[in-house]
């Protein structure tokens, strides 16, 4: 064995020893405690809890129904170990329809499930998402969508391209592209930080939050209707950017967004496009390993 071969083996052994291996021989995802100290001011990666077992329960302010988002386990996505975030069923359950919420948590409204290469224009409930977090970013690479009318309702898809959900550090004026896709029509999702120390009162308590706005280029131009009044009547409506209230060492404590649904008509071949809104607030959380800065 030559000295060059010996040197190469020593280098490989050192790299393996320094990184360690996770499930299936993959590199373990970083826990919050492993991220280096923040290099600058603002909302840092260490401020967003992502340790295994972290959980957030949200209530729909209109229906009173709750569901829980929980980080539990890992999954191999394209050769990298990702953390898994799962979504629970509704509580109390719906008596009819799908017993899961169509949510926009840490996501881009409707732009998830694809048919061939194009996005299906109306949202399905998410069952799980898969993400990586570093000191610079939180990237979502894949997801499981819940499609109730097929035999195996949990359907796995990868994002293409991956989504830059958070670009650290967050500070007022920060703007980034979550993802851009050359679909028909093209889709570009932008997030921007529009406020800090924004007071928000929710069932879980009172917080000072960073306020983030998410806009989908071109979606506001889509023609739609909205239901108003009692008895309800239809008026012209439009998409509005989503908003997220994010608190250090807690996570997303409130979010609201608009989404499109279809309203059947007497003509089975014709449906009206309705724009609806939803607001979710944190009712309780379980955050192991977090500490204030």
pLDDT in tens, 190-225: 999 999 999 999 999 999 999 999 988 866 667 778
> pLDDT band for position 46 (50/70/90)?
very high
Q: Give the Cβ contact number of residue 68 at 10 Å.
A: 17
The reply to whether 6 falls in a domain is: no
Residues 121 and 115: beta-carbon distance below 8 Å: no
The reply to whether 1 falls in a domain is: no
Digit-coded pLDDT (tens) for 241-290 = 899 999 999 999 999 988 777 777 888 777 788 888 889 999 999 999 87
Q: Can you give the pLDDT at residue 233? A: 84
Better-scored residue on pLDDT, 273 or 178: 178
> pLDDT band for position 293 (50/70/90)?
very low
User: 237-267 burial string, b = 16+ CB within 10 Å, else e?
Assistant: bebebbbbbbbbebbbbbbbbbbbeeeeeee
The reply to whether 4 falls in a domain is: no
Checking DSSP bridges between strand 233-237 and strand 224-228, what pairing results, if any?
Answer: antiparallel
Digit-coded pLDDT (tens) for 94-108 = 776 677 776 655 554
The reply to whether 138 falls in a domain is: yes
Q: Can you give the pLDDT at residue 146? A: 80
Residues 105 and 243: beta-carbon distance below 8 Å: no
Distance CA 159, CA 163 (A): 7
For 60, counting Cβ atoms within 10 Å of its Cβ (0-12 exposed, 13-18 middle, 19+ buried), the class is: middle
The reply to whether 154 falls in a domain is: yes
Better-scored residue on pLDDT, 72 or 157: 72
Q: What residues contact residue 102 under an 8 Å CB cut-off, 6+ apart?
A: 123, 124, 125, 259
Q: What pTM was computed for the model? A: 0.79
Q: Can you give the pLDDT at residue 120? A: 63
Distance CA 223, CA 272 (A): 10
The reply to whether 253 falls in a domain is: yes
Distance CA 192, CA 211 (A): 9
Q: Can you give the pLDDT at residue 41? A: 85
Residues 141 and 159: beta-carbon distance below 8 Å: yes
Q: Which residues pair with 167 in a beta bridge?
A: 137
**Structural domains of the chain, count:** 1
The reply to whether 249 falls in a domain is: yes
Digit-coded pLDDT (tens) for 123-164 = 678 889 999 999 999 999 998 888 777 777 888 888 888 899
Q: Can you give the pLDDT at residue 200? A: 98
CA separation (Å) from 65 to 17, 99, 251, 281? 47, 10, 20, 11
Q: Can you give the pLDDT at residue 101? A: 73
In terms of residue numbers, what domain contains 138?
Answer: 21-286
The reply to whether 245 falls in a domain is: yes
Give Rg (Cα) of the chain: 21
């Amino acid at each position: 064995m030559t000295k060059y071969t010996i040197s190469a083996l020593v280098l490989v052994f050192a790299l393996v020893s320094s990184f360690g291996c996770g499930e299936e021989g993959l590199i373990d995802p970083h826990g919050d405690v492993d991220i280096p100290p923040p290099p600058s001011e603002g909302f840092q990666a260490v401020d967003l809890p992502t340790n295994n077992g972290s959980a957030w329960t949200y209530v729909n302010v209109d229906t009173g129904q709750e569901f829980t988002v929980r980080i539990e386990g890992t999954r191999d996505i394209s050769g990298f170990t990702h953390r898994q975030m799962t979504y629970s069923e509704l509580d109390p359950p719906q008596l009819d329809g799908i017993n899961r919420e169509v949510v926009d948590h840490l996501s881009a409204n409707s732009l998830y499930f694809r048919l061939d290469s194009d996005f299906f224009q109306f949202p399905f409930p998410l069952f799980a998402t898969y993400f990586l977090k570093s000191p610079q970013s939180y990237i979502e690479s894949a997801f499981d969508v819940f499609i109730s009318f097929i035999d195996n309702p949990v359907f796995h898809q990868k994002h293409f391209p991956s989504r830059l959900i958070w670009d650290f550090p967050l500070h007022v004026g920060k703007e980034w592209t979550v993802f851009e896709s050359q679909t028909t029509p093209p889709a570009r999702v932008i997030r921007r930080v529009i406020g800090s120390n924004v007071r928000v009162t929710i069932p879980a308590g009172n917080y000072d939050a960073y306020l983030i706005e998410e806009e989908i280029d071109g979606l506001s131009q889509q023609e739609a209707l909205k239901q108003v009044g009692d008895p309800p009547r239809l008026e012209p409506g439009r998409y509005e950017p989503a908003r997220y209230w994010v608190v250090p060492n807690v996570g997303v404590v409130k979010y609201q967004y608009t989404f499109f649904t279809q309203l059947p008509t007497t003509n089975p071949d014709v449906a009206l496009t309705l724009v609806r809104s939803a607001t979710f607030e944190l009712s309780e959380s379980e955050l192991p390993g977090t500490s204030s800065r």
